[in-house]
A and B are shown apart, each in its own frame.
Chain A
């Protein structure tokens, strides 16, 4: 395609010497930003670890009440979206506008599917009074696993299950917020891509949005086992 080789001088900001320098700066900036994100989520992971070890039974009970099928489905959706994002980045590098737009759109759709399913899960939690706060109720001992050898272990303290749900909503909520931002960024990329703003020489925005998107996926890869899976066999 001819446009591949068109120089894009307007894409070079005045304070950089070359597009290469500009792209590397953008990429490094995104990596540094992702490190801050790791530290940001890190505080929540620490909280999770602390209270998981303090209230293991309540956390297991809370996990059991989550819908593992929806969680697994969403995990698959996100991994798929990582693949389509990687392809989008690839096609931006080779300068194929049509495939770039296709894969960006697919990525965004998968992201929206994820958010939709999350919405279903959240609604269900509201209906079952599992959303923490004044309305929270935990009175279904059938859901609590039978635990032996530990006096009184069969009983689960509802207040601590509520803490599990606080952590669940904080972590998945923060993650969902990142997904929404990611989907918004991709929407902007799609518009720009359709207008032909990206070429084989200039595609830095696609690349760094890709980094961000993969990061958000990886966070979920940790959240899924921590919140849905661990202790499920008990």
Chain B
């Protein structure tokens, strides 16, 4: 039987720019975010391309050192603040949370739209900084370089990040209230999909952490403009204070990037093994534990910044502790696979990618959290490889997996499975070829953030650059076939996989109000037997 699309749904209920720019429908807002972050992803990717081109040879031949500094700064700023942080929550979270909990919308729909405008306003400032000459401080903006010596556009970038932070706060606030207040009858906390738990934990971090980076950036701006002296040792200030404040947000922020991705993986693993997630409660609580402990480990970024050794020891210990809940999740996903009827469709391939690469990224995090070893590895390519395994290998894999998995719900069409599998394979190969050599380079002592390097590092660098070009193909491919499928893909049924979860019980694409009738939930999460 060929599935039929509903006559009216959220996509065709109204047309024209206005109907999108003034929408309060969480699904449309999710798509607005999708457009914005895809754009910024490719901007960030363009910088990465030039970086990898430069590093193909040991000499600094393509760009000057100054230009190179700007390239890695703008790459980091774009990717972290304008792509990774909003990627899963603002696109998939926005689209799915109300559907998953059986609500008509998020608690504050207009605030939701406002957050998208704030996001783009912030991006505008940052883009202005980029086109008018760039910034060169690194995405970490360490003082006093950023406040006193850099003569690039620190201010505009800072203002951009400050503004964008509020969109992140508003999204987090909206999700917290939505998850508390808008659940359908019978949808109690322990029937929530793990995706929702992960987003709840993420929202806590967004709400607690982001204001701190906001005030920090504000102080940085004042320092730069009127020389308050708070971070400038020449005026009695303390540059390490900046590092504390910065990492108090930015370590938890790495969990803003990875927790929602973990939520996606839980959904994928359940759907494609056709089993309930092993140890549901543990996985749910692990999200909360990560959010809480994630706030206590920022000092592992300051091992070499003159932080006291004793503080370092405590931060090192806590960093090991925070790895436990992450490991719990990995073990539970793996245990779920055991004796499951695993089907290897594209989203599941991405989920496998996530589990493997996140594990490598997490374990190498433990290397870095060992104080002695970190002295050797800090500021080398080992660190670069570590966080790319988590942020690119982990988060982007899960994001792509989720995008494929929910694409039928979002667009009402199936993507082409063959091409998609090929794409997943290319991404996996390209990713590892790009970043695995960087572990070796870092271990051998190649420092990060230089545009030239000794000859003996060339082979590994060429491998990395080659991998990057493969990875680029892997990212462009899905964009092409997903857009193609919006018009030519086969019509999707309301539950094509099939999977549990309320989002699959309404039509694809869903109506504006999500459900014809608000569902009443009488089953547990991932209860495959009860629902067929």
Contacts and interface: CB of A to CB of B under 8 A. Distances in A.
Contacts of B216: 43
A75 B343 CA distance: 67
A159 interface: yes
B209 A39 contact: yes
A42 B244 CA distance: 13
B235 A15 contact: no
A163 B173 contact: no
A47 B216 CA distance: 10
B235 A50 contact: no
B211 A163 contact: no
Q: What is the predominant secondary structure among interface residues of chain B facing chain A?
A: helix
B512 to A, nearest CB: 10
A15 B105 contact: yes
B208 A35 contact: yes
Contacts of A67: none
Contacts of A33: 173
B229 A159 contact: yes
Contact of B215 (A13, A40, A159): A40
Given A39-B209, A162-B229, A15 B238 contact: no
A97 interface: no
Interface string A42-73: 11101100110011000000000000000000
A35 B181 contact: no
Given A40-B214, A40-B215, A47 B105 contact: no
A59 to B, nearest CB: 12
Interface in B212-227: 212, 214-216, 219, 222, 226
A35 B177 CA distance: 13
B245 interface: yes
A37 B235 CA distance: 29
Given A28-B181, A36-B210, A159 B236 contact: yes
A47 to B, nearest CB: 6
A170 to B, nearest CB: 7
A157 B212 CA distance: 30
A119 interface: no
A42 B212 contact: yes
A132 B207 contact: no
A166 interface: yes
Interface string B177-205: 10011100000000000000000000000
Given A21-B181, A32-B177, A50-B241, A40 B212 contact: yes
Interface in A164-188: 166, 170
A15 B514 CA distance: 10
A178 to B, nearest CB: 13
B173 A170 contact: no
Given A29-B173, A166-B229, A37 B107 contact: no
Given A25-B107, A29-B173, A46 B236 contact: no
Given A28-B181, A29-B177, A35 B229 contact: no
Nearest to B169: A36
A46 B513 CA distance: 45
Given A47-B241, A54-B236, A170-B222, A39 B173 contact: no
A163 B232 CA distance: 11
Contact of B211 (A15, A39, A54): A39
B104 interface: yes
B228 interface: yes
A15 B104 contact: yes
Interface string B140-176: 0000000000000000000000000000010001101
9 contacts: A15-B104, A15-B109, A21-B181, A21-B182, A29-B173, A39-B211, A54-B238, A157-B236, A163-B229
Interface of A: 13-15, 21, 24-25, 28-29, 32-33, 35-37, 39-44, 46-47, 50-51, 54-55, 132-133, 157, 159-160, 162-163, 166, 170
For the complex of A and B, 4 pairs with smallest distance between CB atoms:
A43-B215, A40-B211, A39-B211, A15-B105
